[in-house]
Structure 1
């Protein structure tokens, strides 16, 4: 009986351990990794620190003996426990199997503790306390998850891991509390005292020294009312998440509600004999980019098809891969996409879009794999003036008409600073013996009624068993149905199509969304197949401009009056946009209008900054639904400059002139320049005259005003003399050339002269000269 009891006890003890030792799956290939630029520091005062960052790989120990490594987040990259965060990393501890040691520890350390970044090498792995009875404690105010390669269970190497056994050379993962008394059990014994480490949430079914990458995910869900009541979990490979003690978090990291941030990082070590090349890469750095990705499926009516649903064969669906930036210290940048669709669907050509912009299939599709490289998907986030936080990649497929189970779509987005894999989308397909289709219009299509004269829709059907069918076409709006037509036929074809003009019923619909239904019914069994698409009845605005009133030439700076008429039957406001030829578009603003009426609006087209030239002006309207009117054009509008003096003397004088002497040229007159920036009717005349009287001498010996003779002042050009008196005289006129600038000839013998004859008295003569530009046909 004693033997039987011992045997039964051995069976009861063995079975649980055997079940627990099943290996958790890890990955052999190197996972995608993100940039670690500026995230970590190795400058933490650890002598001989072996930690390094090379090619975005965090190296803790590099495979040599007796190494210590410490890698900690920078002050700018603390964990903020008042916000949700998620970390995904992969740990590789080499492939030395039983020759591996010692291991590494992932650590959280309260932000108010900026000292003690490494403790002891060997079994302590840089985080735990001394491996001896009542030795010093480890890193204060910390919690760790150790990835221990070696079971320290003897007097030769200490008893930290007493009682731990495992298939893989005693490899184990556990939560530890390095800086607390309760994190250890000190055992006094006169034959040899020992210290055990408390291992919470012990995992022994992961082969850490196999060369595989062990996936480590850390997830924090904060409590908005009290962050200390949030939930922190970690997950190894595909195992169930494990919650880290809230009590220890509060006491060690939060300092009982005083601190809400923490440093985080890794420490590790190797022994003199047992060593390891220990590396860490990241798919997701906590707090850097918080995003959400998803895979969704929609039918032709825009209704979402849920995960695990059954979809009818032959139906057309839209797949949407969606990403949204939710927060974080950085924008999500340089995003690549890889999506795989199953064999039970066929891609519909030319339906792939990124945020509504079509993408050439040949650039992104190869077989059933969609690959979009960075630069096509925009950066997402709210930093550095970026305004885009969502991306949607859509494409359409047709479900193969057969019965398939567990068809799955997968999608992965890899950016420079975050990697997100969407939850796979799975569905089943059902073979349909009859199938209804609407072939001619896209779901969500807008139908404008402005000048529509027909609305022809193509309908199609499949009928594998050639059964008699009943057809029905209906319109639905606001839950109300209207039958358009129904008919029966004895089918002779496996498939077919027909067209029907639904214009009459369409025109009677109110503006807005409506649905077009097409159904076929097996008259023998009552089986029904239906197709439905969502359409929108809308009205585009119309715009007209009254003709300009006998004017097509305007001077720069002049405001051109525009009398505009607008109508739009389903919008309450419109935006008016104009453009002069290829110049920049002009936003005239948004105007409230009355539906179903002509609305008159007066605009002004400002020409202040318009270059001189001939233009065609066009005006159009955009309503609240985004529908644009046709352009209304005013052609042959001239914007011109002015006729003006570019330079003219304000005063001039002459030296002493001898009475009765020879004529004397005025040397200080200065240039007289005429600028003509007009485009048309460029004729002009320059006239000059004296104001009020001839030149007058007020200071002379006779004591009264004395006037110069009529020909005292004149202009000479090429030998011709133009006497300037009180009567205006033309001295220059435009020619037939196209010059914009004219200079009055004062070169050589040409210019202005004084002629002092003997009738004049000595003294000072003065006068006022008037220069006149006349824009008039010559």
Structure 2
């Protein structure tokens, strides 16, 4: 871009001379956004400037070692998110860098493992292709944290080796190629997936065996031709320490000599190596093939090890920048900006990596650059998930409960306006050396849904809500919520808690057009030791014409028929009734075309289709007792809406609150009660009656709520002394004179229905000489000290007739 400043006129209007042209230096700046995080990337940045653009990662410094590798350029670097956030492998030309997991951070291949990361490969858009790239490596090399591919002189190998693949140590290219010798200079007992930013093809695959240019290069020494079978930037994997990874190629030069009379022909063969690539990923054709890796953007990569199948799957671009990619890099629907690339390869841990029964293997990154200072490559990695530290997964699922729980997971899927939708974010912890700690859910909700509730349920039974949800917004919201730590075993004082489910329930809202396209949304779950992401698919909202409303009828319903409430002292079925009404211009469906969709405390209850035998729009629904929970602070929340076969949803929900009092029923009785102590009398030789003394204190306390019933009974053991049984009995005498023996069976003492939420009854307060428990003696009773035990029984049922 050229900026022109100032003109000066001389000699008239047709004689204008440009006195000065100042060239303005222009820096191109483009914005990127990861979720709610804004990041800026620009061309020709220094390494420190690049680190300032890095997305947030986990702190990784304690997990890695640089070893004692001579000339190792790798280091742990800081970003704007803190110290120890990034692995910096190279920053200049002709460098090699390697960094390895320490012993405690090795990966266990006996278990499923995940490594997730953002990678930066430099910017080749302004300087031409960068080089050479970096590789993720699993290795059981005897050198441990000092492992790196070497040149013949023992120095770390840069260039096409990337510090992992073997090198050609020959100087005379006419000597046959020894692939074993090349493999021995690579990292041993290893598997690597390379992110190759330059195709090493000194000798083009299309060149004839006797191509003069090829011969000229081979005469000078080893050539760089590892990528003979793949063109352009690419991702591929293989086993660096195996000779079968390398193959020999041949070029031939034929020369003539001797005399004209006796001419001679001599053929000289030249040999050079190339690499056999496995699980190759390339971008295809178009300009994107030149910026597939090194376009100056952070690219996301996930490595997943499946221990049951011994398969390693690597996915590239599975989390893409949300905006800011230059349009020139996007050439088709399969271009590197918008497409996720995935390959899977089989690895035998024992045979390929020399892994023992413990399954442990070291992992890390190596990288290198070429000699061209014009194509300096900054190879940097920021981790979301460090393998073995926290392994888990996150998913986002949108379900249309109005359409028989249809899962909305494709941009072509359509929901109707008014449909009830349930959005679930599931976090799952599978394994790891640490619990997933300090998690903050950063949710970006889709537009065109009015969410009415947001609840969180953990595997340990804990529940929570998201309080900052705007229940009237349909424009899409950004929510942030701290979550409990997740683990699958006891972690100190923290009990196992392997999952968290965040569920938001809402209603689809149409836009101004008949069909509104809702964009995909991206959410993240950011812990101190693992960051995970999930994407919710785009979908469509179709505008549905017509209206339908619901109203409850019957007792305990408010004036508008929208809600009601009831208190229970015991769980029992509750039946609600109501009426469905269609608005003007709406086509009413027969009852058999209308379905009720109930939910209790956020859990779906069985739907019900209305019957044509009932009056139009009349409905009833029975809430089962089993769904009613006691002790809930806000009671049991029942919500219901209706749909019909024409795709119309009720414009409103109806709600009903059922409170099941979580109280207690308690009996308090003095441990000792007497007869004939307060006002003693002597036996007269005839039948006598003695009322209970004042120390017979019996009380019942009922905090279960109004309407609670109870029955109190008493039964006594035989009345005995050292002289034998008493000639008499203990009875309960009612106010009407009827008596029940306590020694002959259980006598009903009292029955009661509570008239308050905290009800107390003093059972003995009305006892007197003719009412209450009495001691009855017969004429043959002998004076003495007698005793018995009275057994009280309090039951939460009314007395039987």
**TM-score normalised per structure 2:** 0.54
Are 1:404 and 2:508 counterparts? no
**Is contact 2:58-2:528 (8 Å) kept?**
yes
Q: Does structure 1 conserve the Cα–Cα contact (< 8 Å) formed by 2:450 and 2:474?
A: no
Separation in structure 2 between the aligned mates of residue 538 and residue 599 of structure 1, nearest angstrom: 26
8 A contact 1:57–1:281 mirrored in 2: yes
Q: Which residue of 2 aligns with 1:378?
A: 484
Query: In the TM superposition, what whole-angstrom CA distance separates every residue of 1:83-133 from its partner, at most 9, and x where no partner exists?
Result: 112222222121144363332221111377637511232232211222344
Match of 1:95 in 2: 123
The residue that corresponds to 2:568 in the other structure is 449
Which structure 2 residues correspond to residues 388-399 of structure 1 after superposition, within 5 A? 388-399=497-508
Change (3 A) 1:325 1:31: farther
8 A contact 1:296–1:304 mirrored in 2:
no
- The SS at the match of 1:281 is strand
Native 8 Å contact 1:160 1:195 kept in 2: yes
Shift of 1:67: 2.3
**What SS does structure 2 have at the residue aligned with 1:279?**
strand
Q: Is the 8 A contact 1:149 1:209 kept in 2?
A: yes
Q: Distance in 1 between matches of 2:567 and 2:403?
A: 20
**1:263, CA displacement in angstroms?**
0.9
Q: Does 1:357 align with 2:476?
A: no
Aligned to 2:138: 108
* CA drift at 1:186: 3.7
Match of 1:53 in 2: 76
Aligned position for 1:252: 352
Compare 403-412 and 416-425 and name the one that shifted more. Answer: 403-412
- If asked which structure has higher relative contact order (CA below 8 Å, sep 6+), I would say 2
* 1-structure distance, mates of 2:142, 2:302: 25
State how far apart, in whole Å, the 1-side matches of 2:669 and 2:589 are: 63
The equivalent residue for 1:70 is 98
Q: Verify: 1:222 aligned to 2:329, yes or no.
A: no
State the distance in 2 between where 1:165 and 1:322 align: 40
Q: 1:286 aligns with which of 387, 393, 397?
A: 387
Pair 538,330 (structure 1): closer, same or farther in 2 beyond 3 Å: same
Q: Do 2:229 and 2:276's aligned partners in 1 also have CA atoms closer than 8 Å?
A: no
Please list the CA deviations of residues 362-388 of structure 1 after superposition, one character each: whole Å capped at 9, or x if unmatched.
Answer: 7999874444445x3222224333233
The one-character-per-residue Cα deviations of 1:224-246 (angstroms, maximum 9, x if unpaired) are xxxxx422222222444212244
CA distance in 2, matches of 1:444, 1:140: 72
In structure 1, the residue matched to 2:362 is 263
Aligned to 2:275: 197
After TM superposition, give the deviation of residue 438 of structure 1 in Å.
4.5
Q: What is the match of residue 683 of structure 1?
A: none
Q: 8 Å contact 1:153–1:160 — kept in the other structure?
A: yes
How far off is 1:197 after superposition? 2.3
Structure 1 position 210 matched with structure 2 position 314: no
Contact 1:176 1:198 (C-alpha < 8 Å) held by counterparts:
yes
* 1:320 matches 2:424: yes
Please give the alpha-carbon distance, in whole angstroms, between the structure 2 residues aligned to 1:301 and 1:445. Answer: 24
- Tell me, yes or no, if the aligned pair for 2:193 and 2:235 is still in contact at 8 Å: yes
Q: How much does 1:332 deviate?
A: 1.6
Is the 8 Å Cα contact of residues 132 and 194 (structure 1) preserved in structure 2? no
Shift of 1:449: 3.3
Contact persistence 1:336–1:371 (CA under 8 A): no
> Could you say if the C-alpha distance between residues 528 and 264 of structure 1 is closer, same or farther in structure 2, counting changes exceeding 3 Å?
closer
CA contact (8 A) 1:32 1:414 kept: no
Q: Which residue of 1 aligns with 2:313?
A: 233
| TM-score w.r.t. length of structure 1 | 0.56
In 2, Cα distance between the equivalents of 1:179 and 1:391?
43
Give the distance between the partners of 1:199 and 1:165, measured in 2 at CA.
Answer: 8
Contact 1:231 1:243 in 2 (8 A): yes
Shift of 1:389: 3.0
Establish whether residue 343 from structure 1 lines up as the match of residue 447 from structure 2.
Answer: yes
1:175 partnered with 2:237 = yes
Change (3 A) 1:48 1:474: closer
2:211 aligned with 1:126, yes or no? no
- The alpha-carbon distance between structure 1 residues 330 and 518, as it changes in their structure 2 partners (threshold 3 A), is closer
Residues of 2 paired with 1:211 and 1:194: CA distance? 33
Distance 1:162 1:331, change over 3 A: closer
Give me the whole-angstrom Cα distance separating, in 2, the residues matched to 1:371 and 1:64. Answer: 40
After superposition, the CA RMSD in angstroms is 5.1
In structure 2, how many angstroms separate the alpha carbons of the residues matched to 1:458 and 1:549? 52
**Contact conserved, 1:289 with 1:328, CA < 8 A, in 2?**
yes
User: Is the Cα–Cα contact under 8 Å of residues 64 and 102 in structure 2 kept in the other structure?
Assistant: yes
How far off its partner does 1:69 sit?
A: 1.0
Q: How does 1:502-517 map to 2 (within 5 A)?
A: 511-513=625-627
Q: 2:449–2:474: 8 Å Cα contact kept in structure 1?
A: no
Query: Would you say the 8 A contact 2:55–2:118 is kept in 1?
Result: no
Q: Do the aligned residues in 1 keep the contact of 2:521 with 2:535 (CA within 8 Å)?
A: no
Q: Secondary structure at the match of 2:389?
A: coil
Taking the aligned partners of 1:40 and 1:516, their CA distance within structure 2 comes to 50
Cα distance change, pair 537–596 in 1 and its aligned pair in 2 (3 A): farther
Instruction: Please tell me whether the aligned partners of residues 364 and 372 of structure 1 are also in contact (alpha carbons under 8 angstroms).
Output: no
Q: Give the direction of change, closer, same or farther, for the CA distance of 1:203–1:319 in structure 2 (3 Å limit).
A: closer
8 A Cα contact 2:137 2:191, kept in partner:
yes
* Corresponding residue number in structure 1 for 2:531: 419
Partner of 2:435: 331
1:117 lines up with 2:147 in the alignment: yes
Relative to structure 1, is the Cα distance of residues 74 and 394 closer, same or farther in structure 2, using a 3 angstrom cutoff?
same
Looking at structure 1, the residues matched to 448 and 607 of structure 2 have their Cα atoms a distance apart, in angstroms, of: 34
SS at match of 2:128: helix
What residue in structure 2 maps to residue 146 of structure 1?
Answer: 194
Question: Is contact 2:136–2:366 with CA below 8 Å preserved after alignment?
Answer: yes
The whole-number CA distance in structure 2 between the counterparts of 1:364 and 1:89 is 35
Q: 1:89 to 1:316 in 2, by over 3 A?
A: same
Q: What is the alpha-carbon distance in structure 1 between the residues aligned to residue 506 and residue 54 of structure 2?
A: 30
| 2:246 aligned residue (173, 184, 194) | 184
Matches of 1:549 and 1:73 in 2, distance apart? Answer: 71
2:583 to 460, 463, 471: 463
Partner of 2:681: none
* 3-state DSSP of counterpart to 1:512: helix
Residue in 1 that maps onto 2:788: none
Contact 1:253 1:259 in 2 (8 A): no
